[in-house]
Structure 1
């Protein structure tokens, strides 16, 4: 994954909403700070997952999950975003002009699709392509860590169990629905697909844009539509500006809490759509 330490965990509000939907006692499984208690935690969590509506395939994926040392290593070594904007752009994008040129070519190849998304959700192509490029290099680097194992590992880990528990339940429900399998791979904290949704957000905002009957965030059409739906759901105002000081800039905080990340999305999008 390109510079995974820049990726912040999206939409704590969504997590809290999902958390309140879990049955009472849904945090009863005992968390831990290393892998020694993971199997015992899984056994307790299986009961809670079942009460939350997880079915056979999701429970099987839970039983097969393993403690992800790669996830814990990445989680312990997060440093946050402390770069100035110009340095962030140089490290993450190379240059605004070069990044935007690549995105414009992708937009031109599928102009009708991006126009349809803007009609449906009010989100311009530039914003969606900027996010796609910044998150996974336009789908080139979607991660190689098993999503179910990684999200269960951070749900088990005591540091942020409350935050990740609803995302773990959501991941298991996605297995039930056929959106992912127990072997699907993503980023270190369970982010998945072209634009790196956490499972709870994928479950809530996922869109079947290609009409195949399932939401697949590893399908580019589904991922772009889902990203537009997420932003619209978080308050995006069609036709309004998205640079700093304009109405839609604050919505970018729902995608990533780092100001330089939001600024880079806005500046890139302006060049892509300009």
Structure 2
């Protein structure tokens, strides 16, 4: 009996496991959440620069508004392509491929991904780097990690963003899309950390450099199962890999159509 009581007493005195930072649905709890999340980030190995970027992050109301209103993905395919400027992307994409054939051919040799697919993604995501976002990446992604709607999905990306700050790939002031995507092809931070490639050989993975960004995109697709020389239209082997880039059906179909037109 004494041994049972002793065991219960020791269990009661044992430290409780550290809980994850609690999420919230308004900006009111964001500063308190950041303090809890900083402890989580330290345990994950985030260093001083990343922690400083977290401390300076601000609740991103525009990110929350965008997350609640992604209506373009509910359009028909024709409407989606019209709104996203598919004809312009194809026309400009063909010119880009003609101007830099060796660059795209080298990427296809290395990763097996045709030029049209990379160019279509580049055009769709940022109009070929014309607009890479106006939201601070760290603030946007930590806001989504805090927000209860999809906290579990975004927490790893928030930790990755802080790691990217530590590595010098971004800073706390780097601008990206409303959901924290960054660079020419709008990588989520976790994917940037996992699949980033230093294509220009300067010792740093920079998603705001076109060479690094497109090589990283090709690497992502190859690592997700891209089969060189196989088709990428609906029903063909590589269409499933396009799904890994974006979960919206109209987006996937639009990329496949534009890529085929660029490569034709």
Please give the alpha-carbon distance, in whole angstroms, between the structure 1 residues aligned to 2:167 and 2:242.
Answer: 29
Structure showing greater Rg: 2
Q: Name 1:184's counterpart in structure 2.
A: 174
Query: In the alignment, which of 22, 42, 51 is matched to residue 43 of structure 2?
Result: 51
Contact map agreement 2:72 2:80 (CA 8 A) in 1 = no
Q: TM-score, normalised by structure 1?
A: 0.88
Distance 1:112 1:174, change over 3 A: same
The answer on 1:225 being equivalent to 2:215 is yes
> By how many angstroms is 1:258 displaced?
1.5
Q: Which runs of 5+ in 2 are unaligned?
A: 1-15
Query: In the alignment, which of 207, 214, 237 is matched to residue 247 of structure 1?
Result: 237
Relative contact order, CA 8 A, sep 6+: which one is greater?
Answer: 1
Q: Which runs of 5+ in 1 are unaligned?
A: 1-23
Query: In the alignment, which of 88, 98, 106 is matched to residue 108 of structure 1?
Result: 98
Q: Name 1:68's counterpart in structure 2.
A: 60
Please give the alpha-carbon distance, in whole angstroms, between the structure 2 residues aligned to 1:25 and 1:125.
Answer: 49
Q: Name 2:10's counterpart in structure 1.
A: none
Please give the alpha-carbon distance, in whole angstroms, between the structure 2 residues aligned to 1:153 and 1:165.
Answer: 10
Query: Could you report, residue by residue, the CA deviation over 1:127-163 in whole angstroms, capped at 9, with x for unpaired residues?
Result: 0000000111111111100000010001011111110
Contact map agreement 2:30 2:59 (CA 8 A) in 1 = yes
Q: Name 1:13's counterpart in structure 2.
A: none
Query: What SS is found at the alignment partner of 2:71?
Result: coil
> By how many angstroms is 1:175 displaced?
0.1
Query: Could you report, residue by residue, the CA deviation over 1:159-217 in whole angstroms, capped at 9, with x for unpaired residues?
Result: 11110000000000000000000000001110111111100000000101111111111
Q: TM-score, normalised by structure 2?
A: 0.91
